[in-house]
Chains A and B, each alone.
Chain A
């Protein structure tokens, strides 16, 4: 069965420090990978995605993520965290192929807390 794991419920970093939010996946076949962010009582906002090509993907608000096929990981990173980055982050995966419905499988989410 396909699944996505975000091993940390919460990540705490100091403002200005680099941040990493971890994601690993288990799928049969080649995945499409996504990161979304959610602020309190709001919908999800798309940050970035990996479809194919360069393993390092750059997205919105200075975030980037690295696709590692051998480790089946897609960790979200940012060189310098801001207090305003504090939010709930979701990793998600969908599958290639004709007839693909676009269904996303989400991880359980990681709360990022950036302290001044």
Chain B
């Protein structure tokens, strides 16, 4: 899983609660990404950031929020507005290269809504 850490590994949330997933990288990568993985659907992009203090919505951003105050960190908050948050969440980072550089993935956080 390279130099990317995600915590916690497992997270349980009650309905109506906001929760924050941590993602830290020590690879000195500018770009960071958050994906959601559901069985049989592959990975879907939630948010991405190409540089500190800047981020863009991905394909399924509704109900999620992010911040990028430091190069190393890209936390994801799953808000109560996300109607079906139970999923496996993956963070990734990559060096700049106009899309030619591979992404390095963290070990993931499995979120379950009780």
B interface, CB within 8 angstroms of A: 1, 4, 6, 31, 33, 40-45, 48, 50, 56, 58, 88, 90, 92, 94, 96-108, 110
Contacts and interface: CB of A to CB of B under 8 A. Distances in A.
A106 B90 contact: no
A56 interface: no
A49 B91 CA distance: 20
21 contacts: A9-B40, A36-B105, A43-B105, A44-B43, A44-B103, A45-B105, A46-B102, A49-B100, A49-B102, A95-B99, A96-B100, A99-B98, A101-B31, A101-B50, A101-B99, A102-B31, A102-B50, A102-B94, A102-B99, A103-B45, A104-B45
Chain A binding surface SS class: loop
Nearest to A98: B98
B97 A101 contact: no
A90 B6 CA distance: 21
Contacts of A104: 33, 43, 45, 103
B100 A101 contact: no
Interface residues of A, number: 28
B107 A43 contact: yes
Interface of A: 9, 32, 34, 36, 41-46, 49, 51, 90, 94-104, 106-109
